[in-house]
Amino acid sequence: MVKDQNTVCFRTMHLKEKVRHTLDSYLSVGGYGQWKRVLNERPDPATLIEELKLSALRGRGGAGFPTGLKWSFMPRSAPGQKYIVCNSDEGEPGTCKDRDILRWNPHQLIEGMAIAGYCIGATVGYNYIRGEFYEPIARFDEALGEAYAAGLLGRDLLGSGVDFDLYTHLGAGAYICGEETALLESIEGKKGQPRFKPPFPAQAGLYGQPTTINNTESLASVPVILEKGGQWFLDQGRPNNGGPKLFSVTGHVNAPNNFEVPLGTPFWELLEMAGGVKDGKALKAVIPGGSSVPVVPGNIMMNTDMDYDSIAKAGSMLGSGAVIVIAEGTCMVRVLANLAHFYAHESCGQCTPCREGTGWLSRVLHRILHGHGRPSDLDLLDNVAGRIGGRTICALGDAAAMPVQSFLQHYRHEFEHLIEHGRPMEQAA
């Protein structure tokens, strides 16, 4: 079994469920130690950012961009308001990790955001939480109240002259707001439609001011990285793939759950932790990083380690760390039709290829699924997906295209069978 579980974002998990999320609990594991140190010592933010760079922490929301590098893009000493924004709009199918951070360890996120604010010169932060998360929102708001009451948020904190105000902003049901610039638009009271880049948020973000947006897990990792050192964090994982990471293992497994394990943990170990494939079936396929990444056949996955670089070698991406396990006997046409429906439904409607193309893909797939496919449909699907990917303002176009292309690459015979016979090769879903 994997050692060193729950060392970073889940470091309060061993505490009693009822009190796990409280300030006292967090303080009992050394919480707010780093924020207090920052307030007392006022270290040069550049040194903190260097520590983060050393840790090789990569964005946990899905893109995997090095967090320290992202922070270093901020014009820290430029005049004017700057913002730190946390992306808790967790909505990538298969992903349910940030919800647990918000529910079980909200203070660590607050501490991470405060430190981030200090590093990038932001005195105001917003945590954008998806609107459906009533319980996590309540937990986070409660934690904010405790932190303000304890003098850890607000003005002139601990007499340091440092200000940091943190607010919750609620979403209202739109996957696209997980895209960082759509999220900014949403905070600005608009539809969540991604902005084209440049300018990047570090130049012109929220309200036109320099802004850094990080995922919940990325920010919640920061206090522990500073406490134990960037080198420690790096050593937890692999070079260029620092630290432990939360994996949401869902789908056809016996014990689906979130696991915080070191990057580089072999997939088979993770599968074992989740109780193995459901009902003792064989492993058919895995979508290793949330629904937007290419599917990987089970046999390849069994020889792959769970880190950014290894999964890339296997032809997919680590993404958000959502590991969707698919058992033998599942109709892959049905799975893909489900995914295609999701992207068509969640396209913001802004860019032509995504607005028009995602619906097209979904319709063709559902037609095939219902026995009305044509042999030419498969090339069409592949070609249409290719005309969406890489052609849109944000990555939703790629996210819609990649599953289609990868499913056709690995499971084309199932599609052909359904088109030819009018019924699926595999009956289960």
Partner 1 sequence: MSFRNAPLAVIHDVDKDTLFTPEIRAEIDRHVAKYPPEWKQSAVMPALTLVQDHNGGWLSRELMDQVAAYLDMPEVSVYEVATFYGMYDLEPVGRHKVCVCNSISCMLGGSEELMQHIEHKYNVAPGETTADGKFTFKEFECLGACRHAPAVMVDKTYHECVTPESFDKLIKKLD
Partner 2 sequence: MSDKITIEIDGRTCEAAPGEMIITVADREGISIPRFCYHEKLSIAANCRMCLVEAEQGGRPFPKPVPACATPVGDGMKVQTRSRKALDAQRGTMEFLLINHPLDCPICDQGGECELQDVSMGYGEDVSRFTERKRVVKDEDLGPLIATEMTRCIHCTRCVRFGAEIAGVRELGATGRGEDMRIGTFVAHTVAHELSGNIIDLCPVGALTSKPYRFTARAWELTAEPSIAPHDAVGSNIQLHVRNGRVMRVHPRDNEAINETWISDRDRFSYEGLNAASRLTAPMIKGDSGWAETDWQSVLHWVADGLQRVVADSGADQLGWLMAPGSTLEELYLGQKLLRGLGGRNIDSRLRQQDFSGDAADPALPWLGLPIADLEQQRAVLLIGSDIRQEQPLLAHRLRKAALAGAMVGLVNPYRVELTHPSRQLPAAPGRLAAELAAIAKAAGAGGRSSLKGLIATADSGDVHAEIAAALKQAGADGNGLVLLGALAEASPDFGLLKALAYQIADATGCRIGFLPPAANSTGAAFAGALPHRLPGARAVDVPGLDALAQLTEPRKAYVLWGIDPAHDLIDPARAVAALAGADLVVACTAFRTPSLEAVADVLLPISAFAETSGTFVNAAGDWQRFQGAVAPPGDARPGWKLLRVLGNMLELTGFEYASARDIHDALAAQCADRAPDNTPRAEYPVGTTAEAADGTLMRVGNVPIYAVDALVRAAPALQRTPLSAPLHLQLHPADAEALGLQDGDQVEVAQGPARACMPVHVSDDLARGGGRIPAAVPGSGQLGAQIGPIRVAKVSGENDQ
Structure tokens at 164: 């940091």
Q: If we measure between CA atoms, which residue out of 186, 8, 165 comes closest to residue 89?
A: 186
Please report, for residues 53, 153, 287, 295, the alpha-carbon distance to residue 321 in angstroms, rounded to integers and kept in the order given.
21, 31, 10, 13
Please report, for residues 85, 146, 158, the alpha-carbon distance to residue 152 in angstroms, rounded to integers and kept in the order given.
18, 9, 8
356 binds, among partner 1, partner 2, none (CB under 5 to 8 A by kind): partner 2
**What is the Cα gyration radius of the chain?**
22
425 binds, among partner 2, partner 1, none (CB under 5 to 8 A by kind): none
Neighbours of 14 (CB within 10 A): 10
Looking at the Cβ atoms of 161 and 349, the one nearer to partner 2 is: 349
Report, in Å, the least distance between residue 136 CB and partner 1.
9
What is the distance between the alpha carbons of residues 188 and 182, in angstroms, rounded to a whole number?
Answer: 10
Contacts of partner 1 in 198-217 (CB under 8 A): 207
The answer to whether 270 contacts partner 1 (rule: CB under 8 A) is no
Which one of residues 171, 262, 298, 319 is an interface residue with partner 1 (CB under 8 A)? 171
127 binds, among partner 2, partner 1, none (CB under 5 to 8 A by kind): none
391 binds, among partner 2, partner 1, none (CB under 5 to 8 A by kind): partner 2
Q: How many residues line the site for partner 1 (CB under 8 A)? A: 60
75 binds, among partner 2, partner 1, none (CB under 5 to 8 A by kind): none
The vertex-408 CA angle with 404 and 414, nearest 5°, equals 120
What is the distance between the alpha carbons of residues 429 and 252, in angstroms, rounded to a whole number?
Answer: 10
Residue type, 400: A
Report, in Å, the least distance between residue 113 CB and partner 1.
14
- Asked whether 113 and 125 are in contact (CB, 8 A), the reply is yes
What is the distance between the alpha carbons of residues 149 and 411, in angstroms, rounded to a whole number?
Answer: 56
Report, in Å, the least distance between residue 329 CB and partner 2.
30
The answer to whether 65 contacts partner 1 (rule: CB under 8 A) is no
Structure tokens at 403: 């599953």
Q: What is the DSSP letter of 75?
A: -
Question: Which residues here bind partner 2, judged by CB under 8 A?
Answer: 174, 176, 191, 196, 198, 344-353, 355-360, 363-364, 367, 380, 387, 390-393
Interface with partner 1 (CB under 8 A): 81, 90-96, 98-99, 126, 130-135, 167, 169-175, 185-193, 195, 207, 248-252, 256-258, 287, 291, 322, 324, 326, 330, 335, 338-339, 341-342, 345-346, 348, 350, 429
